Structure 1
Amino acid sequence: MGIFDKIKEKLSNEFIDIIEWLDYSDDTICYRFERYQNEIKNNAKLIVREGQTAVFINEGQLADVFTPGTYTLNTQNLPILSTLKGWKYGFESPFKAEVYFVNTRLFTDEKWGTKNPIILNDDRFGLVEIRAFGTYAFRISDAGKFIIDIVGTDNNFTSFEINEHLKSLIATRFTDTVGESKLPIEMYAANTNELSYTCRDVMQLDFMSVGILLDKFFIENVSMPEDLKKEIFEYSRIDKLDLDKLTKFKTAKAIEAAAINDGGTAGAGMGMGMGFVLAQQMGSVMQPQRGGHNQAFQQPAAVPPPMPQAIQYYYAFNGAQAGPVSFEQLKVLFAGRTVNKDTLVWKQGMSEWKPIREVEELKTFLGGSTPPPLPK
């Protein structure tokens, strides 16, 4: 080998480049490998590590894409770039191209949330407002598409730059999904897992259109105004309550309140009246049955005529029929404001429901009764 061949070999060895990217950050998605005037030497070494993809761009056009591995850059390993530049049998060193390294690892714990309340039309509560927030995870699935559609010529593209776009997309699709689900407003908290999967499937096509895979999507909380929350709780309790039991409970509370407010006098009278009624009911239940063979030898005892049957009243409560209750019980309910003068009542013999103020014997509840005029 002559002296000129040795000098040529030495110079060619010095011209060989190593193209690689060591990522020391937590948020870089795409990094452009910087070279002076974008020149790359012939037979340069390209090292693509796990979790990376290398993309060659020639004059704004997508060329070759390299997955993890080590490559020698020549016409065999750059078929698309060779075609774009018109190299038939090889290329002269150096050549120009832009090299982008794309981070394909999973980007986790990214935050999303609704900036403004979402207005929904619920079947029972009408127009309601909710807010939601959570986390998501994504990875780059198509490095070339991502660079062309999102990165452009940015030399250091981070997750912060794409997050605002993704959060806006998530908020829009989340609003559409919950609006079309027709899920009762009180069921959102109990179905966040199913709703998360549904939203992820709906959003996946939008993410894939720019080369991103939405790997995980979580709804952590769905919140609503406090007054709406209280209304839902009250509705749920009423929906589960037995109206008859609720009426008895209200009656007992009204007796207690009347006894306190009247200093024990009137309240005691009402309490005694209710006590007699309850005692009669308990007596009929607890009275032992007399039977056995001694019954045949007993003389029939004198039986008094039956007591006049007390009038029983039915009344309207929350749009439903409640009762029956006695006159005294209805009076207690009126005193406790469970019923009022406009409450509809009905008893046997009435042709239709009437408000308390129109039933003659119940007008005494209203107070201020006027005696008839004295005889002349």
Structure 2
Amino acid sequence: MAIIDLVRWTPDGDQTIYAYRFPETNLSTYTQLIVQESQEAILFSKGQIVGKFGPGKHTLNTENLPILRSLYGLPFGKKNPFTAEVWFVNKLQPYNIDWSVNRMDIHDADYNTGIPLVARGRYGLKIINAERFLIKIVGARTSFDQKDLTDQFLGEFTTKTKSAIVQFMMSNKIGLKQISAHLDSISNHLRTTMLPFWENIGFDLKK
């Protein structure tokens, strides 16, 4: 098969795409890799990460990828073919993920009764660990977008969000009449509680 001379990813204006796998894997030590300012590129070969590249133009030679010498026995300074998957990760800006909890039963101290509440909000996410993100959640896909993230984790982070809100309101004895005055505190508590969940899969939680 033909050897690829140039590897790059230019999104078609769809900023909800978190990661994209370049469709070809037949590379060489003369292949040029172009990484845009908003991206990080990670190469996988033989089941392991062989290189990570930030913005700029890079040659995929043994100087930039010394591990190729041991993986493929490639000599230094010559044009040699090898195979690798190239993943581009979009790290430009936060992505907004809407969430909603359809019902929470809160004991209201003012009325001394249980009151059903509905909560809605938005998480602002940004990829900070591309390696962890790719390994933990992208898997065998060819791309990963906002819908994939929502579909995969909606149930889990909605349950955790509901639990955090109920716990905060109960421990601080916040009743129905005080909710508006505590929205910032609830939001900050949610960030503190949910941050480890998102960091575990490579994201930072903005709000």
**Contact 1:40-1:95 within 8 A present in 2 as well:** yes
Match of 1:311 in 2: none
Change beyond 3 A, Cα 1:154–1:16: closer
Q: Distance in 1 between matches of 2:67 and 2:174?
A: 55
Match of 1:200 in 2: 191
Match of 2:6 in 1: 18
1:278-297 matches, cutoff 5 A? none
Change beyond 3 A, Cα 1:71–1:135: same
**Contact 1:177-1:199 within 8 A present in 2 as well:** yes
Gaps of at least 5 residues in structure 2 are none
Greater per-residue strand proportion? 2
TM-score by length of 2: 0.86
Q: Does 1:120 align with 2:106?
A: yes
Change beyond 3 A, Cα 1:133–1:40: same
Match of 2:131 in 1: 144
- Give the secondary structure class of the aligned counterpart of 2:206: strand
Matched to 1:27, the amino acid is T
Change beyond 3 A, Cα 1:196–1:41: same
Q: Distance in 2 between matches of 1:46 and 1:82?
A: 19
**Cα shift readout 1:62-115 (whole Å, capped 9, x = no counterpart):** 22111111111111111344444454646762210000111112233331111x
Correspondent of 1:55 among 42, 45, 49 = 42
TM-score by length of 1: 0.49
Greater per-residue helix proportion? 1
Change beyond 3 A, Cα 1:42–1:34: same
Q: Report how many aligned residue pairs link the two structures.
A: 200
Matched to 1:121, the amino acid is H
1:336-375 matches, cutoff 5 A? none
Task: Report the CA distance between 1:141 and its aligned residue.
Answer: 0.9
Larger radius of gyration: 1
Correspondent of 1:185 among 157, 175, 180 = 175
Q: Distance in 1 between matches of 2:122 and 2:134?
A: 24
- Give the secondary structure class of the aligned counterpart of 2:92: coil
- The alignment yields a C-alpha RMSD, in angstroms, of 2.2
**Cα shift readout 1:248-301 (whole Å, capped 9, x = no counterpart):** xxxxxxxxxxxxxxxxxxxxxxxxxxxxxxxxxxxxxxxxxxxxxxxxxxxxxx
More displaced stretch, 71-80 vs 199-208: 71-80
Task: Report the CA distance between 1:165 and its aligned residue.
Answer: 3.5
Gaps of at least 5 residues in structure 1 are 1-13, 217-376
Match of 1:213 in 2: 204
Task: Report the CA distance between 1:175 and its aligned residue.
Answer: 2.0
Match of 2:90 in 1: 103
Q: Distance in 1 between matches of 2:150 and 2:38?
A: 20
